[in-house]
Amino acid sequence: MDEHATLAAPADDDPTLVFLKVEEAARRLRIGRTTCFALIRTGELESVMVGGLRRVPVDAPAAYAARLRTAQRAA
């Protein structure tokens, strides 16, 4: 296989997703899993329980980033 060949898109880039795993949300925010769980615990990053699984709504990482940007502009 050619080293420049296009690989399949990661599952967290699927436009039909409604929820992300915490690890996928962390990857989108470019933060660690532990930091992502800390943001969830403090309520800064929205999450829900689906059965016994913690999930992050697909729009929550972007909303968190937007709040950070707004707060930094106001400071």
Distance CA(38)–CA(51), nearest Å, equals 21
Residue 45: its pLDDT value, please?
98
Residue 2 buriedness (CB in 10 A; 0-12 / 13-18 / 19+)? exposed
Residue 75: its pLDDT value, please?
81
28 CB neighbour count, 10 Å cutoff: 19
Mean pLDDT value of segment 53-66: 98
* pLDDT, tens digit (0-9, with 9 covering 90-100), for 9-50: 455 568 889 999 999 999 999 999 999 999 999 999 999 999
